[in-house]
Structure 1
Amino acid sequence: MSLELRAAIRAEVAAIIPLDELEAEHLQASLAWIDSGAELWRREKPATPPEHLSTYFALVDGSGLLLVDHKNAGLWLPTGGHVDPGEHPRDAVARELWEELGVHSLPVPAASFLTRTEVAGHHLDVTLWYALPVSRMLPLRYDQTEFNEARWFDFNQLPYSDSEPHLARFVAKLAKIIA
């Protein structure tokens, strides 16, 4: 991995302003991990190395966001995925936009949220969250092999009990960003 790419990823993480104490802890731990020289990308499924980068990107309009009913996770999630070796997280978002939703060429802003989540008891996802402002009229073609459904939810009707555990915190932060 190039030192320039590691520095760019570190800068992306360091620029995130934490919402709360938990995010501040996640940011500090993630910066220490990046600075340690550890491998940042998953090389083999499901968990090699056991800590690696992933992304979520939420398509957001003025009143809600798009979630997908993920077949393997059994949860409503923002779209996203693991960052490929040698890839910047923003490039992963652009790639996953096409793979998961059939969308080309949306600008990808800086990450606005970061979480560290243990997945299935065997690895840790260091996840950069991106909010992509779009219209609900944007044509989508969701990956039916990975998702049961893709659906827009108004902010006051998000399925928190059946979703990613940090989704409510992300939406709280998003409300501050949008305001």
Structure 2
Amino acid sequence: MHLVSYFVMLGRVRQKVLLGEHRLAGLWLPAGGHCEELDLEAVPGDVCGDRPLFLTVTPTRGPHSHTDVSLWHVLSADAGQLPAFDEREYRSMQWLTLDEVLGQPIETMDPHMHSFTDKLLATLHM
């Protein structure tokens, strides 16, 4: 098992999240893994402070598959321009509204992305 963290960048004004098309996984994922891969300042969001909002356990795919135990942290960011990112890790990055995330086929994302987004929406509307 690998303990990893996702850093879900949540836009302060329009409630968009930043997802990247991860080269190795072949999926749209939040930044994270074993280290943060964006050139952004990590600012804990108002949603849950410095504590994770979500926890998942997921078997990975590929020849060196293993199980990831992932902590999903929500960080605050300005959802404007795309940040610099590690092009060895990601093909591209994109800001999506939470409704746009839920409208994407789950096969193209982390298998828990829709559940995370539902929880984030519920937390934001409390």
TM-score higher than 0.5:
yes
Q: Which runs of 4+ in 1 moved over 6 A?
A: none
Corresponding residue for residue 119 of structure 2: 173
Q: In structure 1, what is the Cα distance between the partners aligned to 2:24 and 2:75?
A: 24
Structure 2 partner of 1:118: 59
- Once the 2 structures are TM-superposed, how far is the Cα of residue 133 of structure 1 from its aligned partner? 2.1
Task: Flag the 1:105–1:67 CA change in 2: closer, same or farther, 3 A.
Answer: closer
Q: Larger % of strand: which?
A: 2
CA shift in 2, pair 1:110/1:177, >3 Å: same
Q: Could you tell me which residue of structure 2 aligns to residue 101 of structure 1? A: 38
Task: Give the 3 Å change call, closer, same or farther, for CA 167–139 of structure 1 in structure 2.
Answer: closer
Residue equivalent to 2:93: 150
Aligned position for 1:75: 27
TM-fit CA distance, 1:163 = 0.5
Secondary structure of residue in 1 paired with 2:43: coil
Aligned residues: 114
**Relative contact order (C-alpha < 8 Å, sep 6+): which is higher?**
2
CA 1:117–1:166: 2 relative to 1, 3 Å: same
Larger radius of gyration: 1
- TM-superposed deviation, 1:157: 1.5
CA distance in 2 between counterparts of 1:151 and 1:133 reads 16
Structure 2's unaligned 5+ residue stretches are none
Q: Where does structure 1 lack aligned partners over 5 or more consecutive residues?
A: 1-50, 83-91
Distance 2:80 2:19 in 1: 15
Residues 133 and 53 (structure 1), Cα distance of their counterparts in 2 relative to 1, 3 Å cut: same
TM-score (norm 1): 0.58
